[in-house]
């Protein structure tokens, strides 16, 4: 199933990215959540888009989302942060991404990181490694990532898990990493 799950996660991340970019290049209202972090209608609409796409493809799966919490089955669920880096998003700093992971029985089996501003897309599946798909951006150009480099995001896919590498809420991957580390190190 991981190939189908990975393809669906990529489709969902790209669709959520289109939603977020609409607000990023337009306007949006900022509200503070109870933990004093910002949330916008872009966050909420992007998460709804992801849940709709993945729910249509995998109706038996549950969800754990940054904006709307948990729903459905917990043993096989999609972990979603529609705009990881909302503080950057609201400041128009192009360092934010959509994070999606599939957790099956406590193991992350699929992961996607997509930055719609730069076009960068990183995918991984358990046993298949991490695959970058980069697109040259007219302002940022094509970046080279050196072997042994680490990609970090402040993500919330691993909230409440130990060993996240960047505090209580984070994700990381090494270019040679497995699917388990592609979007989140929640199984560490």
Per-residue pLDDT of the chain (188 residues; tens, 9 = 90+): 689 999 999 999 999 999 999 999 998 999 998 988 899 999 999 999 999 999 999 999 999 999 999 999 999 999 999 999 999 999 999 999 999 999 999 999 999 999 999 999 999 998 876 666 655 444 444 444 444 443 444 443 333 333 333 333 334 333 333 333 333 333 33
Quick one: angle between helices 41-57 and 2-24, nearest 10? 160
Please report the pLDDT score of residue 166 as a whole number: 31
Q: Which residue has the tokens 């995001």?
A: 153
Please report the pLDDT score of residue 131 as a whole number: 62
Phi then psi for 164, rounded to 5 degrees? -80, -10
Query: How far is CA 81 from its chain centroid?
Result: 5
Q: From CA 125, how far away is CA 110, in angstroms rounded?
A: 4
Residue ranges with strand state E in 23-71: 30-32, 38-40, 62-65, 69-71
Please report the pLDDT score of residue 66 as a whole number: 93
Q: From CA 85, how far away is CA 35, in angstroms rounded?
A: 15
Please report the pLDDT score of residue 1 as a whole number: 62
Residues present in the chain in total: 188
Please report the pLDDT score of residue 134 as a whole number: 55
Topology (CATH) of 2-146: Fructose-1,6-Bisphosphatase; Chain A, domain 1 (3.30.540)
Please report the pLDDT score of residue 127 as a whole number: 82
Contacts of 147-150 with C-beta under 8 Å, sequence gap 24+, read: 147/175, 147/176, 148/174, 148/175, 149/174, 149/175, 150/174
Residue 21: other Cβ atoms inside 10 A: 14
Sequence ranges of the domains in the chain: 2-146
Please report the pLDDT score of residue 57 as a whole number: 97
Q: What predicted TM-score, i.e. pTM, was given to this entire model? A: 0.71
Residue-wise pLDDT tens digits, 70-95:
999 999 999 999 999 999 999 999 99
Q: From CA 92, how far away is CA 85, in angstroms rounded?
A: 11
When computed from its CA atoms, the radius of gyration of the chain, rounded to whole angstroms, is 15
């Amino acid at each position: 199933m991981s190939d189908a799950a990975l393809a669906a996660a990529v489709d969902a991340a790209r669709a959520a990215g289109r939603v977020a970019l609409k607000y990023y290049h337009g306007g949006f209202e900022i509200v503070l959540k109870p933990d004093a972090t910002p949330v916008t209608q872009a966050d909420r609409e992007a998460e709804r888009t992801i849940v709709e796409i993945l729910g249509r493809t995998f109706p038996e799966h549950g969800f754990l989302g940054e904006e709307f919490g948990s729903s459905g089955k917990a043993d096989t669920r999609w972990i979603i942060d529609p705009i990881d880096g909302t503080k950057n998003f609201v400041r128009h700093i192009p360092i934010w991404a959509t994070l999606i992971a599939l957790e099956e029985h406590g193991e992350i089996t699929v992961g996607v990181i997509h930055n719609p501003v730069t076009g960068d897309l990183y995918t991984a599946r358990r046993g298949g490694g991490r695959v970058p798909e980069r697109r040259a951006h007219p302002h940022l150009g094509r970046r080279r990532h050196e072997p042994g480099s680490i990609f970090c995001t402040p993500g919330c896919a691993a909230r409440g898990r130990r060993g996240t590498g960047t505090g209580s809420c984070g994700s990381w991957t090494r270019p040679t990493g497995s699917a388990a580390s592609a979007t989140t190190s929640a199984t560490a």
